Chain A
Amino acid sequence: MNSAIGNTAGASPNANQNLRPGISKSWVSLIQHLLVTSIQGDHDLHSDNIFTFGASLTEFILNRCAPIQCTPSRSLIYESFVHTDNDVLPLRSRVGARPEYFVRSINDSGAINNGCSTELPAVLGAHPLEDIMHLGSWLQLATILNQGSKVRNFRTLPTYNGRPPELVRGRTYPALGMPGSGIRGTVCLHPQNRLCALIMLTMPDEVAAAPRPPLVLREGMNLELQDLEGTIWYYAIVPVDKWWAVLQHFNVMVAPLVARRYAVYARGETVLVSAAHASAFPRSISFSDQFPVTEDASDDEGAMGDDADQDDNVQYLDSMGRYVAFLKKDESLLMDFEDAHEALVPVGGFLLVKTSALQAFGLGCNRDWVRVSLRYPDEGEIDNTTTENEYLHIYFAIKTRDRNNAGPMKIRVLHAKAEDFLHPDSAGGQQHMHRAATEVFAMPMAGVMHQQPLPPPGEENMEE
C-alpha cells in the first residue's frame, strides 16, 4: 500500500513486533526541492522569509508573463520583519527582466476563429492592455464622460486628464496636445538616476508664440523650452517631479505606446513588424549639466544608477515620436505614432500568409494563401531567432492537421517574414480572403513519398 503518509511500503510489517507506525524515512524530489529553494531564496531559517518568499514568487510569476508596465517603478516594496533588530522595515527589491508583452495561451479560440482575441483583447482601438497600462485613469475618465460605453479611440481631454500616467522610467512615451492644437511630442523619465525627464515638443509657430503664465520648476527657475537646432522641435529637461506639470502646462497628454517587438502594422496591403531603435536620443542633448547622478548609498535607488541594465534603455519610440517598422531585411520605415495608432493590427487579428512560407515547417495546402491569427512568440521561441531587427518575424497561430486528416486539430505558433503577409482588410487582401485556407496539413516528409517500395516478403523466392 502506498499513501503519502502512513503507508507500509518498504519492509513488511512483522506481526510479532510493535505495530505502532513510525516514520523511518521521507523521500524528497530533488527537482522540486531545488525549485522551491530557489524561490524561497537564501535566508536563515526563520518565519520572516514568508515575506521574501511571497515577493520572490510574485516576481517569478511576473518575470515570466507580464511586461514591466505592471511594475512601472521597476521595484517592488514589501515589508519584512528583521529579527535581528526586532523591527518591521520596508524592503525594496528591484524587478528583473520582463517580457515585452503579456503572455497569452496558444489555444485562444476567439482569435483563431473570429480574429478577435478573447484573452486580453484589444482595449483601445487595436491597442492591447500592455500598450495602455499607463492610461488607466484616463480610460476611466473617458469612460465616465462616455456615459459608461467603451472608449474606441484615444483623444486628449481638454485641461484635465485624470491621475498622472504611470510611466516606466527610461522609456520614451508619445504625447499629444489638445485636438486641433498641433502640439505633439514625447516624454521620457531618465533611465538612470538623474531625477529628471526629457520632454520634447513640436507645435505650430502661433501656438508656440501664444502667451502662457510662467511655470515655476524650482525656486528662481522657470520652464523654458530650448530649440533643438536644425529641427522643428523644442525640448526641456525638467525635474522628475515636474514632468506632469509641464505636460499639463501645454495641455498635453501621454498617448498609448507600443513598447514591444513583433507588433504588426498594416499600411495598405503591406504588413510591417515593429522593432526597437538602435539609438533614440538626440546626441546634442546633455543631461549631466543640470542633473548629475544622485549618489546616495543609503537609498536603494542608488543601486539603479548609471549601471542600469542595457535593456532599460531600449526604445521603441524615438524622441521625435517615431516607431521603426521592418518590411524585410534592410527595408524599414519610420512611422509617426499617430499613424502607427491607426495602422496597428490587434493581437489575434487575421492576416493572410503565403502557403509557400509554411513549407519550412512541413505544412501546406492546395490554396495560395492561408488565414492565420496574429500572435506573439512564446518564451522558448524567441530563443530561436536573434534580437537583431532585420531578422524579426511575424508570429501567428495556425490550425494544423495531420497529413491524412486523422487526429485532432492542433494550433501551432509559427513565424514568417513580413513580406510573405497580406493584410486582409486591404483591397488585395479581400480578393484573397474568401479563397484562403483556414487550416493546413502536415506535408509528407522529403524522400518518403518517392522511396521505392520494398518488394513483398518472399518475392525473390517466388522468382526462383
Chain B
Amino acid sequence: MAWSLCVLPMFARQLALLNKTGQVDFEINYVCRTYAEWIRNIIAQFFQSFFGGTLFLSYDRVIAGFMTRQIATTFMTTTARHLCTASSVTDANTKILLDMESAPLTVQSCTLAINNALTHLADTNLIMINQLIRDRLNTPVLPPEFLVEVFGSAPIGLGMRYFDVLFGWLGQMMQFRQGGEVEYSTGYVSINKFGSLQDYQAKEGFFESYFGVSKNNYYTYSTAVRECAAKTFDLSGFINMEGNMNDFQRFVGRLGVGHDSFNGDRAQPVATPPPPVHPAFETYRSTYLFTQNQVY
C-alpha cells in the first residue's frame, strides 16, 4: 500500500516524461544538466567523424533518450538500495522520494548515459572497415595517450613504451614500393582490391557471421567503404597540439622514420628524389580512406 501510494505515482510521473525529453530537463539538477550540455557540445564539435552520418542527425534525441533511460535506471537502483537498507517500507519510500526529488540523475549516471549514447551512435561501418584494414596491415594497437604525445609537442624518443612498435610498423609501411601488394605514398598506403566485389566475396562468410550482414549484400559493404572515404579525424582543435595532426611529414619527422633509413641510401651522396605526388592526394590529403577505381 505504501509503495502504491508513495512511490508508484512518482515512478509513473518519471516514465510519463520519458518521451517528452524536453520536459525532463527541469527535473534534472543544474549540475547534471550543465555537464551533459557541455559534453554534448564538445562531442558535436570535434567527434562527429566517429559517428554514422545518418545516426548523427538524431544526436540530440539520442542523448536525451539515454538520459531519460538513465533516470529510470537511477530510480530503480535508488529504490532497490533503500528497500534493502531501510528499516521499513514506509521509511524506504520516503527516502526514495527525497532522493529522486533532488537528483533523479547523478553525475555518474550522466556519464553512463553519454557513454551509452556514444556507443549507440558509433559508426559501425567505420569499426568494421578499420578492423579489416588492421587485419591487412597488421596495425599495432597503441594507447591514444601515446599517439596524442606523438602528435603533440612532448619529446619522443627511444626507450619510450610503444615507440619501437610504432617505429617498426611505420618503417615497414613506408618501405612498400610501387607495384607491390601494398604501396606507400605520402602518408597513405594502398590496399589492392579493398572494397571491391572480389574482396567482398572473400569475406562474405565473415560479414555474415560476425557483423550480421545478410548474404549477397555487397551493397552494404561498398556503402561502408564509401562512407569511410569522406571521414577525417582531426582532433587538433580539441587537443592542444602544435601544428596539424594530419601532417604526415611532421609525424614521421618526430618519430625519426624516413625513407633513407630503410634503403641504405645514406651512403649515397645524392638521395633518390621522392616520387611525384599522385594527383589524388592533392585533393584527399588527411581523409581517412579513399578508393580509386580503375577500368578492368
Q: How far is the CA of A66 from the CA of B39 in the complex (A)?
A: 9
CB pair A27 B189 closer than 8 Å: yes
Could you tell me which residues of chain B, from 15 to 31, have a CB within 8 Å of some CB in chain A? 29-31
Q: How far is the CA of A138 from the CA of B192 in the complex (A)?
A: 61
Given A7-B293, A162-B99, A37 and B141 contact (CB-CB distance below 8 Å): yes
Q: Which residues of A contact B288 (CB under 8 A)?
A: 28-29, 32-33, 36
CB pair A45 B251 closer than 8 Å: no
Could you tell me which residues of chain A, from 1 to 60, have a CB within 8 Å of some CB in chain B? 2, 4-11, 13-14, 17-42, 45-47, 49-51, 53-58, 60
Could you tell me which residues of chain B, from 193 to 213, have a CB within 8 Å of some CB in chain A? 193-197, 199, 206, 210-212
Give the distance to chain B from A312, nearest Cβ to Cβ, in Å: 17
Inter-chain residue pair count (beta carbon < 8 A): 316
Given A64-B238, A378-B240, A30 and B170 contact (CB-CB distance below 8 Å): yes
Classify the secondary structure of B's interface with A: helix
CB pair A9 B280 closer than 8 Å: yes
Q: Which residues of B contact A96 (CB under 8 A)?
A: 145
From B31, B194, B284, residue with most partner A Cβ within 10 Å: B31
Pick from B107, B145, B229: contact of A5, CB under 8 Å: B229
| Chain B proximity mask over A367-392: 1 for CB below 8 Å, otherwise 0 | 00000000000111101000000000
CB pair B248 A31 closer than 8 Å: yes
CB pair B187 A54 closer than 8 Å: no
Q: Which residues of B contact A160 (CB under 8 A)?
A: 98
CB pair B147 A136 closer than 8 Å: no
Q: Which residues of A contact B135 (CB under 8 A)?
A: 45
CB pair B190 A27 closer than 8 Å: yes
Q: How far is the CA of A14 from the CA of B30 in the complex (A)?
A: 66
CB pair A120 B38 closer than 8 Å: yes
CB pair B111 A25 closer than 8 Å: no
Give the distance to chain A from B111, nearest Cβ to Cβ, in Å: 5
Smallest Cβ-Cβ distance to B128: which chain A residue:
A47
CB pair A76 B246 closer than 8 Å: no
Q: Which residues of B contact A13 (CB under 8 A)?
A: 295
Q: Which residues of B contact A71 (CB under 8 A)?
A: 108, 111
Q: How far is the CA of A367 from the CA of B293 in the complex (A)?
A: 64
B112 at interface (Cβ–Cβ under 8 A)? yes
| Chain B proximity mask over A60-83: 1 for CB below 8 Å, otherwise 0 | 111111100111110011100000
Size of the B side of the interface (Cβ < 8 Å), in residues, is: 111
CB pair A163 B102 closer than 8 Å: yes
Q: How far is the CA of A378 from the CA of B98 in the complex (A)?
A: 40
Q: Which residues of B contact A34 (CB under 8 A)?
A: 139, 142, 147, 166
Give the distance to chain B from A247, nearest Cβ to Cβ, in Å: 15
Q: Which residues of A contact B146 (CB under 8 A)?
A: 38
A133 at interface (Cβ–Cβ under 8 A)? yes
Give the distance to chain B from A11, nearest Cβ to Cβ, in Å: 5
Given A55-B115, A102-B38, A160-B98, A136 and B103 contact (CB-CB distance below 8 Å): yes
B64 at interface (Cβ–Cβ under 8 A)? no
Q: Which residues of B contact A9 (CB under 8 A)?
A: 278-280, 292
Q: Which residues of A contact B280 (CB under 8 A)?
A: 2, 7, 9-10, 27
B2 at interface (Cβ–Cβ under 8 A)? no
CB pair B210 A46 closer than 8 Å: yes
CB pair A162 B103 closer than 8 Å: yes
CB pair A25 B292 closer than 8 Å: yes
B63 at interface (Cβ–Cβ under 8 A)? no
Q: How far is the CA of A351 from the CA of B146 in the complex (A)?
A: 36
Could you tell me which residues of chain A, from 245 to 285, have a CB within 8 Å of some CB in chain B? none
Give the distance to chain B from A19, nearest Cβ to Cβ, in Å: 6
CB pair A29 B293 closer than 8 Å: no
Top 5 nearest A-B pairs by Cβ distance?
Answer: A54-B119, A162-B102, A136-B31, A380-B240, A137-B103
Sample 26 A-B pairs with CB under 8 A, ordered by A number.
A4-B230, A8-B294, A9-B278, A20-B296, A22-B296, A23-B196, A25-B292, A26-B195, A28-B189, A30-B188, A33-B139, A36-B288, A38-B143, A47-B212, A50-B119, A50-B122, A61-B42, A62-B39, A76-B111, A129-B34, A136-B32, A140-B30, A163-B99, A166-B106, A166-B108, A380-B241
On B, residues with C-beta under 8 Å from A are 29-32, 34-35, 38-39, 42-43, 47, 50, 78, 98-99, 101-103, 106-108, 110-112, 114-116, 118-120, 122, 124, 126-128, 130-135, 137, 139-148, 152-154, 166, 170, 173, 183, 185, 187-197, 199, 206, 210-212, 222, 225-226, 229-233, 235, 238-242, 245-246, 248, 251, 278-281, 283-284, 286-296
